[in-house]
Chains A and B, each alone.
Chain A
Amino acid sequence: MVKYFLGQSVLRSSWDQVFAAFWQRYPNPYSKHVLTEDIVHREVTPDQKLLSRRLLTKTNRMPRWAERLFPANVAHSVYILEDSIVDPQNQTMTTFTWNINHARLMVVEERCVYYVNSDNSGWTEIRREAWVSSSLFGVSRAVQEFGLARFKSNVTKTMKGFEYILAKLQGEAPSKTLVETAKEAKEKAKETALAATEKAKDLANKAATKKQQQQQQFV
Protein backbone atom coordinates (compact mmCIF):
# COMPACT_ATOMS: atom_id res chain seq x y z
CA MET A 1 0.00 0.00 0.00
CA VAL A 2 1.61 3.23 -1.19
CA LYS A 3 0.91 6.85 -0.30
CA TYR A 4 0.91 9.01 -3.43
CA PHE A 5 1.64 12.72 -3.72
CA LEU A 6 1.22 15.01 -6.70
CA GLY A 7 2.15 18.67 -6.69
CA GLN A 8 2.87 21.50 -9.04
CA SER A 9 5.20 24.43 -8.34
CA VAL A 10 6.46 27.39 -10.29
CA LEU A 11 9.76 29.22 -10.13
CA ARG A 12 9.72 32.74 -11.51
CA SER A 13 13.04 32.25 -13.28
CA SER A 14 13.95 31.00 -16.73
CA TRP A 15 14.67 27.34 -17.39
CA ASP A 16 18.41 27.87 -17.92
CA GLN A 17 18.71 29.74 -14.62
CA VAL A 18 16.78 27.01 -12.81
CA PHE A 19 18.81 24.18 -14.33
CA ALA A 20 22.07 25.91 -13.44
CA ALA A 21 20.81 26.63 -9.91
CA PHE A 22 19.87 22.96 -9.50
CA TRP A 23 23.58 22.10 -9.20
CA GLN A 24 24.33 24.97 -6.83
CA ARG A 25 21.48 24.77 -4.36
CA TYR A 26 23.47 23.19 -1.50
CA PRO A 27 24.14 24.56 1.03
CA ASN A 28 21.29 26.98 1.67
CA PRO A 29 19.52 28.16 4.84
CA TYR A 30 16.84 25.52 4.39
CA SER A 31 19.19 22.58 3.85
CA LYS A 32 20.72 22.10 7.29
CA HIS A 33 19.58 18.48 7.20
CA VAL A 34 21.72 17.83 4.08
CA LEU A 35 25.19 16.76 5.22
CA THR A 36 27.08 15.78 2.05
CA GLU A 37 26.68 16.03 -1.70
CA ASP A 38 28.68 14.23 -4.40
CA ILE A 39 28.34 13.51 -8.08
CA VAL A 40 28.99 9.77 -8.45
CA HIS A 41 28.25 9.46 -12.15
CA ARG A 42 27.97 11.85 -15.05
CA GLU A 43 27.87 11.56 -18.82
CA VAL A 44 26.71 13.37 -21.91
CA THR A 45 24.67 11.15 -24.22
CA PRO A 46 25.05 11.15 -28.01
CA ASP A 47 21.81 13.16 -28.23
CA GLN A 48 23.28 15.85 -25.99
CA LYS A 49 21.51 15.08 -22.72
CA LEU A 50 23.33 15.27 -19.40
CA LEU A 51 22.86 12.22 -17.16
CA SER A 52 23.97 12.60 -13.57
CA ARG A 53 23.73 10.65 -10.37
CA ARG A 54 24.16 12.61 -7.16
CA LEU A 55 24.68 11.00 -3.75
CA LEU A 56 23.33 12.92 -0.78
CA THR A 57 23.62 12.22 2.94
CA LYS A 58 20.86 13.61 5.08
CA THR A 59 20.12 13.52 8.80
CA ASN A 60 17.50 11.00 9.88
CA ARG A 61 14.99 13.05 11.84
CA MET A 62 12.20 10.94 13.34
CA PRO A 63 9.53 11.71 15.91
CA ARG A 64 10.25 10.30 19.35
CA TRP A 65 7.72 7.49 19.04
CA ALA A 66 9.50 6.30 15.89
CA GLU A 67 12.90 6.49 17.61
CA ARG A 68 11.53 4.22 20.36
CA LEU A 69 10.04 1.76 17.86
CA PHE A 70 13.06 1.67 15.52
CA PRO A 71 16.13 2.31 17.68
CA ALA A 72 18.45 0.64 15.16
CA ASN A 73 17.62 3.32 12.57
CA VAL A 74 18.34 6.31 14.80
CA ALA A 75 22.12 6.24 14.57
CA HIS A 76 22.36 6.09 10.78
CA SER A 77 22.12 8.97 8.32
CA VAL A 78 20.03 8.52 5.24
CA TYR A 79 21.75 7.94 1.88
CA ILE A 80 19.82 9.26 -1.06
CA LEU A 81 20.45 9.01 -4.79
CA GLU A 82 19.20 11.64 -7.18
CA ASP A 83 19.28 10.70 -10.86
CA SER A 84 18.70 13.44 -13.39
CA ILE A 85 18.44 14.01 -17.12
CA VAL A 86 18.97 17.54 -18.40
CA ASP A 87 17.68 18.05 -21.94
CA PRO A 88 18.67 21.53 -23.08
CA GLN A 89 17.24 21.09 -26.57
CA ASN A 90 13.74 20.50 -25.19
CA GLN A 91 14.40 22.71 -22.18
CA THR A 92 13.32 20.04 -19.73
CA MET A 93 14.87 18.25 -16.82
CA THR A 94 13.66 15.04 -15.14
CA THR A 95 14.82 13.84 -11.76
CA PHE A 96 14.24 10.66 -9.77
CA THR A 97 15.26 10.61 -6.12
CA TRP A 98 15.02 7.87 -3.52
CA ASN A 99 16.65 6.59 -0.31
CA ILE A 100 18.96 3.59 -0.56
CA ASN A 101 19.14 2.75 3.13
CA HIS A 102 16.52 2.52 5.87
CA ALA A 103 14.58 0.92 3.04
CA ARG A 104 13.08 -1.83 5.13
CA LEU A 105 11.47 0.85 7.28
CA MET A 106 10.31 3.22 4.54
CA VAL A 107 11.04 4.16 0.95
CA VAL A 108 10.27 7.58 -0.45
CA GLU A 109 10.59 8.07 -4.21
CA GLU A 110 10.20 11.38 -5.95
CA ARG A 111 9.95 12.09 -9.64
CA CYS A 112 10.11 15.68 -10.91
CA VAL A 113 9.76 17.15 -14.35
CA TYR A 114 10.98 20.70 -14.88
CA TYR A 115 9.69 22.52 -17.98
CA VAL A 116 9.00 25.97 -19.35
CA ASN A 117 5.76 27.52 -18.11
CA SER A 118 3.22 27.57 -20.96
CA ASP A 119 1.93 31.06 -20.12
CA ASN A 120 5.22 32.71 -19.33
CA SER A 121 8.35 31.47 -21.06
CA GLY A 122 10.45 33.24 -18.43
CA TRP A 123 9.12 30.94 -15.74
CA THR A 124 9.73 27.29 -14.95
CA GLU A 125 7.15 24.71 -13.87
CA ILE A 126 7.87 21.72 -11.67
CA ARG A 127 5.56 18.72 -11.70
CA ARG A 128 6.36 16.66 -8.62
CA GLU A 129 5.17 13.14 -7.80
CA ALA A 130 6.12 11.04 -4.80
CA TRP A 131 5.46 7.55 -3.55
CA VAL A 132 5.83 6.67 0.14
CA SER A 133 5.83 2.98 0.96
CA SER A 134 6.77 0.71 3.85
CA SER A 135 7.35 -3.02 4.02
CA LEU A 136 5.91 -2.85 7.54
CA PHE A 137 2.57 -3.11 5.73
CA GLY A 138 3.61 -6.58 4.61
CA VAL A 139 4.48 -7.52 8.19
CA SER A 140 1.10 -6.42 9.54
CA ARG A 141 -0.62 -8.42 6.79
CA ALA A 142 1.41 -11.47 7.76
CA VAL A 143 0.47 -11.03 11.42
CA GLN A 144 -3.21 -10.81 10.48
CA GLU A 145 -3.02 -13.87 8.24
CA PHE A 146 -1.30 -15.87 10.95
CA GLY A 147 -3.83 -14.75 13.57
CA LEU A 148 -6.76 -15.74 11.37
CA ALA A 149 -5.26 -19.11 10.47
CA ARG A 150 -4.54 -19.98 14.08
CA PHE A 151 -8.05 -18.90 15.06
CA LYS A 152 -9.58 -21.18 12.41
CA SER A 153 -7.50 -24.10 13.60
CA ASN A 154 -8.71 -23.45 17.15
CA VAL A 155 -12.33 -23.39 15.92
CA THR A 156 -11.79 -26.88 14.48
CA LYS A 157 -10.51 -28.06 17.86
CA THR A 158 -13.44 -26.38 19.61
CA MET A 159 -16.03 -28.14 17.48
CA LYS A 160 -14.30 -31.50 17.74
CA GLY A 161 -14.17 -31.05 21.47
CA PHE A 162 -17.89 -30.25 21.61
CA GLU A 163 -18.84 -33.25 19.49
CA TYR A 164 -16.70 -35.46 21.64
CA ILE A 165 -18.16 -34.37 24.95
CA LEU A 166 -21.74 -34.38 23.64
CA ALA A 167 -21.31 -37.94 22.41
CA LYS A 168 -19.94 -38.92 25.77
CA LEU A 169 -22.77 -37.26 27.72
CA GLN A 170 -25.40 -38.85 25.51
CA GLY A 171 -23.92 -42.24 26.16
CA GLU A 172 -22.90 -42.82 22.58
CA ALA A 173 -19.91 -45.01 22.02
CA PRO A 174 -17.38 -42.84 20.31
CA SER A 175 -16.62 -44.14 16.78
CA LYS A 176 -12.93 -44.16 17.58
CA THR A 177 -10.97 -44.59 20.76
CA LEU A 178 -10.45 -41.56 22.96
CA VAL A 179 -6.77 -41.38 22.19
CA GLU A 180 -7.23 -41.71 18.38
CA THR A 181 -9.86 -38.96 18.14
CA ALA A 182 -7.87 -36.46 20.16
CA LYS A 183 -4.70 -37.32 18.24
CA GLU A 184 -6.41 -36.86 14.88
CA ALA A 185 -7.76 -33.45 15.83
CA LYS A 186 -4.34 -32.36 17.09
CA GLU A 187 -2.60 -33.50 13.86
CA LYS A 188 -5.09 -31.63 11.67
CA ALA A 189 -4.73 -28.49 13.76
CA LYS A 190 -0.93 -28.72 13.56
CA GLU A 191 -1.04 -29.06 9.74
CA THR A 192 -3.32 -26.06 9.38
CA ALA A 193 -1.14 -23.93 11.65
CA LEU A 194 2.01 -24.97 9.78
CA ALA A 195 0.50 -24.11 6.40
CA ALA A 196 -0.63 -20.77 7.79
CA THR A 197 2.81 -19.98 9.24
CA GLU A 198 4.46 -20.80 5.90
CA LYS A 199 2.02 -18.53 4.08
CA ALA A 200 2.55 -15.74 6.58
CA LYS A 201 6.34 -16.10 6.35
CA ASP A 202 6.09 -16.06 2.58
CA LEU A 203 4.00 -12.89 2.61
CA ALA A 204 6.41 -11.15 4.96
CA ASN A 205 9.40 -12.20 2.88
CA LYS A 206 7.72 -11.11 -0.36
CA ALA A 207 7.02 -7.69 1.09
CA ALA A 208 10.58 -7.30 2.33
CA THR A 209 12.33 -8.54 -0.78
CA LYS A 210 10.01 -6.88 -3.28
CA LYS A 211 11.47 -3.44 -2.54
CA GLN A 212 15.02 -4.78 -2.57
CA GLN A 213 14.47 -6.48 -5.91
CA GLN A 214 12.98 -3.36 -7.43
CA GLN A 215 15.95 -1.31 -6.37
CA GLN A 216 18.59 -3.82 -7.37
CA GLN A 217 17.60 -4.72 -10.90
CA PHE A 218 20.53 -4.65 -13.30
CA VAL A 219 20.31 -2.67 -16.51
Chain B
Amino acid sequence: MNSVGEACTDMKHEYDQRFNCWFAENFLWGDGSGNLCTDLFKHHQQCVQEAIKGKEIPIEGLEFMGHNKHKPENSS
Protein backbone atom coordinates (compact mmCIF):
# COMPACT_ATOMS: atom_id res chain seq x y z
CA MET B 1 0.00 0.00 0.00
CA ASN B 2 1.37 3.40 -0.92
CA SER B 3 1.99 6.30 1.38
CA VAL B 4 0.51 9.70 0.63
CA GLY B 5 4.11 10.83 0.20
CA GLU B 6 5.77 8.85 -2.55
CA ALA B 7 9.13 9.12 -0.82
CA CYS B 8 7.72 7.64 2.38
CA THR B 9 6.40 4.36 1.03
CA ASP B 10 9.46 2.22 1.78
CA MET B 11 9.74 3.64 5.29
CA LYS B 12 6.06 2.97 5.76
CA HIS B 13 6.40 -0.69 4.83
CA GLU B 14 9.27 -1.15 7.24
CA TYR B 15 7.40 0.56 10.04
CA ASP B 16 4.20 -1.41 9.33
CA GLN B 17 6.06 -4.72 9.51
CA ARG B 18 7.60 -3.88 12.89
CA PHE B 19 4.36 -2.49 14.23
CA ASN B 20 2.26 -5.48 13.18
CA CYS B 21 4.68 -7.82 14.92
CA TRP B 22 4.68 -5.81 18.14
CA PHE B 23 0.92 -5.30 18.05
CA ALA B 24 -0.03 -8.97 17.64
CA GLU B 25 2.60 -10.44 19.94
CA ASN B 26 3.05 -7.84 22.65
CA PHE B 27 0.42 -5.15 22.79
CA LEU B 28 -2.69 -7.35 22.56
CA TRP B 29 -1.41 -9.52 25.44
CA GLY B 30 -0.74 -6.77 27.94
CA ASP B 31 2.74 -5.63 27.02
CA GLY B 32 2.19 -2.08 25.83
CA SER B 33 5.75 -0.94 26.29
CA GLY B 34 8.25 -0.01 23.67
CA ASN B 35 7.97 0.15 19.92
CA LEU B 36 6.24 3.47 19.35
CA CYS B 37 9.09 5.82 20.16
CA THR B 38 11.52 4.29 17.72
CA ASP B 39 13.52 6.40 15.31
CA LEU B 40 11.87 4.55 12.45
CA PHE B 41 8.45 5.76 13.52
CA LYS B 42 9.75 9.31 13.96
CA HIS B 43 11.36 9.43 10.51
CA HIS B 44 8.25 7.96 8.94
CA GLN B 45 6.11 10.60 10.68
CA GLN B 46 8.36 13.42 9.54
CA CYS B 47 8.21 12.23 5.95
CA VAL B 48 4.43 11.88 6.02
CA GLN B 49 3.90 15.28 7.69
CA GLU B 50 5.96 16.94 4.94
CA ALA B 51 3.88 15.25 2.26
CA ILE B 52 0.70 16.34 4.03
CA LYS B 53 1.86 19.94 4.15
CA GLY B 54 2.90 19.79 0.52
CA LYS B 55 -0.50 18.54 -0.57
CA GLU B 56 -2.26 20.91 1.85
CA ILE B 57 -4.29 18.12 3.38
CA PRO B 58 -6.42 19.75 6.13
CA ILE B 59 -5.72 17.48 9.09
CA GLU B 60 -4.98 20.20 11.65
CA GLY B 61 -7.10 20.86 14.71
CA LEU B 62 -9.45 17.92 14.27
CA GLU B 63 -10.61 16.38 17.54
CA PHE B 64 -9.79 12.76 18.16
CA MET B 65 -12.78 10.48 17.57
CA GLY B 66 -14.75 13.57 16.50
CA HIS B 67 -14.99 14.27 20.25
CA ASN B 68 -17.89 11.84 20.67
CA LYS B 69 -20.10 13.83 18.35
CA HIS B 70 -22.70 11.15 18.00
CA LYS B 71 -23.47 9.74 21.39
CA PRO B 72 -24.42 6.05 21.15
CA GLU B 73 -28.00 5.25 22.05
CA ASN B 74 -26.90 2.98 24.86
CA SER B 75 -24.11 4.99 26.43
CA SER B 76 -21.70 2.84 28.37
Question: Which residues of A pack against B, CB within 8 Å?
Answer: 16, 19-20, 23-24, 26-27, 34-40, 42-44, 48, 50-51, 53, 55, 57, 79, 81, 83, 85-86, 88-89, 94, 96, 98, 100-101, 109, 111, 113, 129, 131, 214-219
Known: A83-B65, A129-B70, A217-B67. A20 touches B28 (CB 8 A): yes
**Residue B4 lies at the interface, judged by CB distance under 8 Å to chain A:** yes
Residues of A within 8 A of B12 (CB): 38
| Range, interface on chain B | 35 or more
Residues of chain B with a CB closer than 8 A to A216's CB: 61-62
Contact A23 B23 (CB under 8 A): yes
Interface string of B26-63 (1 = CB under 8 A from A): 01111010001000010011001100100001110111
Measured between beta carbons, the chain A residues less than 8 angstroms from B29 are 88
Q: Please, how many angstroms separate the alpha-carbon atoms of A209 and B41 in the complex?
A: 36
Q: Is there contact, CB below 8 Å, between B63 and A23?
A: no
**Chain A residues whose C-beta falls within 8 Å of the C-beta of B69 in the assembled complex:** 109, 214
For residue A113, which residues in chain B have a CB less than 8 angstroms away from its CB? Answer: 72
Tell me the interface secondary structure of chain B in the complex. helix
Show the binding face of B for A, using Cβ within 8 Å: 1-5, 8, 12, 15-16, 19-20, 23-24, 27-30, 32, 36, 41, 44-45, 48-49, 52, 57-59, 61-67, 69-70, 72
Residues of chain A within 8 A (CB-CB) of B19 are 23, 39
6 A-B residue pairings within 8 Å (CB atoms) = A20-B23, A35-B2, A36-B3, A39-B44, A43-B36, A50-B23
Contact status A42-B36, CB under 8 Å? yes
Q: A48 with B59: in contact, given A24-B20, A40-B45, A40-B48 (CB under 8 Å)?
A: no
- Is B65 in contact with A96, judged by CB distance below 8 angstroms? yes
A203 to B12, CA, bound (A): 45
Q: Is the CB of B4 within 8 A of A38?
A: yes
Whether A219 and B64, one on each chain, are in contact in the complex, defined by CB atoms closer than 8 angstroms, is yes
Instruction: Let me know if B32 and A109 touch, CB within 8 A.
Output: no
How many angstroms from the CA of A79 to the CA of B59 in the assembled complex? Answer: 9
Q: How far is the CA of A205 from the CA of B37 in the complex (A)?
A: 43
- Please provide the 10 A-B residue pairs with the shortest distance between their CB atoms, ordered closest to farther: A20-B24, A36-B4, A48-B32, A96-B65, A26-B1, A37-B1, A44-B32, A88-B28, A83-B65, A38-B48
Residues on A with beta carbons closer than 8 Å to the beta carbon of B28: 16, 19-20, 86, 88
